[in-house]
Amino acid sequence: MHINITAQKIGKDHETYNSSVTDYVNYLEKENEGKHSELQEHFFDQNNDRISPETVISEIDGNTKKLKKRDPKFYSIVVSPSAKELKHINNDPALLRAYTRELMKDYAASFYRDRKVTVDDIKYYAKIEHKRTYRGFEKKIKENKPYLKRIANLNNDKAKVERGELKGSAKKIQREINRLIEKAPHKINGKLVTEGMKKEGFQTHVHIIISRKDVTNTYSLSPNSQHRKNVTILNGKEQKQGFDRNKFFDAAEQRFDKIFKFERGFIDKYSTKNLYRKDPKKFFAIVTGLPTNERELTLKSLHKLNIPTNQKGVALKLFEKAGLNLPSIPTNKVQLAIKAFNKLKKGMKRAIESGSIGV
């Protein structure tokens, strides 16, 4: 499960917030273009399944009382179940709608204020999308980029040869193009993965638009306010203020598992990945104590996250205890081991942030 929370912004400096949700709503309507009304996905909230885009715009834009120009007027939550999770629920949008409504109860419960916050206090509208395309910052695009650049140059040369502007063999150039296509690391049905290409498999996810203000347009509910850093004194007692993201992310997984009876593996839990961020030694100590099958599954998952668990000189004793079977290194190369371990730690942090629940 991957959950992303952002405040919607405009402007190159990313310091100016949208005054209207119109552009975002229009963006979320793109998958409905050309579809019969019965096949379209509609906006929904806690109690209604079909809400018009016009209503969403009117309700969100009209719920911004006393917010300043530089205050975010609304937030976006994108809920992206994993391929395993989508398969478990047969990629059923009705089940995702039901889950979203339960999830928003957990979202409300993750706020700390001088009063209890419930889902009835939250003004939100959600919409399901079924497609995703590759974007320029993604790993597969970046790794294919050198091949795509070389192929583009070769295609240009080939065209010049065919027009008589350049000496050479068009067939020879085409063979080199074919070789590069074969060698490129990421392809779909024989075609190189490029920016804008549709991703394979289940890609269903949920976009949730949440007003910064509560339903009464009275007080602010910002998920960007960290509860641990905000404490006020109320009636002589300390009172937490803000939003607990860790609580919300944990609840999101537990809610899915409980509703759909989904058995989540050790490495797939948010708490597991959060533990690595805080204490990698404890993380691998726990991996060591896992049953053999679970440990092997965890290590395979680490490989899928592109974490170099077989890299030489990486905290050898710790990883061997975790069953990583690393080759031994000379004991006098301590600095090399430390350097390699730090590199591994950075790589794992990036993988965790891109492959799990995160901000």
Give residue limits of the domains in the chain. Answer: 2-132+199-260, 139-192, 266-355
Q: For the segment 127-159, what is each residue's pLDDT rounded down to a tens digit?
A: 999 999 999 989 999 999 999 999 999 999 999
Confidence at residue 359, expressed as pLDDT on a 0 to 100 scale? 33
Q: What is the DSSP letter of 31?
A: G
Select 2-132+199-260's CATH number: 1.10.3470, 3.40.190, 3.30.930, 2.60.120.
Answer: 3.30.930
Confidence at residue 202, expressed as pLDDT on a 0 to 100 scale? 92
Residue ranges, the chain, pLDDT below 70: 9-17, 226-240, 299-359
| Residue located via tokens 């030489």 | 312
Confidence at residue 95, expressed as pLDDT on a 0 to 100 scale? 97
Q: For the segment 282-327, what is each residue's pLDDT rounded down to a tens digit?
A: 877 787 778 878 877 776 666 555 554 433 333 344 445 444 444 3
Q: Dihedral of the CA atoms 64, 66, 71, 73 (nearest 10)?
A: 0
Which tokens hold the place of 65?
């009382």
Q: What are phi and psi of 140, to 5 degrees?
A: -65, -35
Q: In the sheet where 124-129 sits, what is the strand order?
A: 2-7, 74-80, 205-211, 124-129
Strand ranges (E), the chain: 2-7, 9-10, 16-17, 74-80, 111-112, 124-129, 187-188, 191-192, 205-211, 231-234, 237-240, 242-243
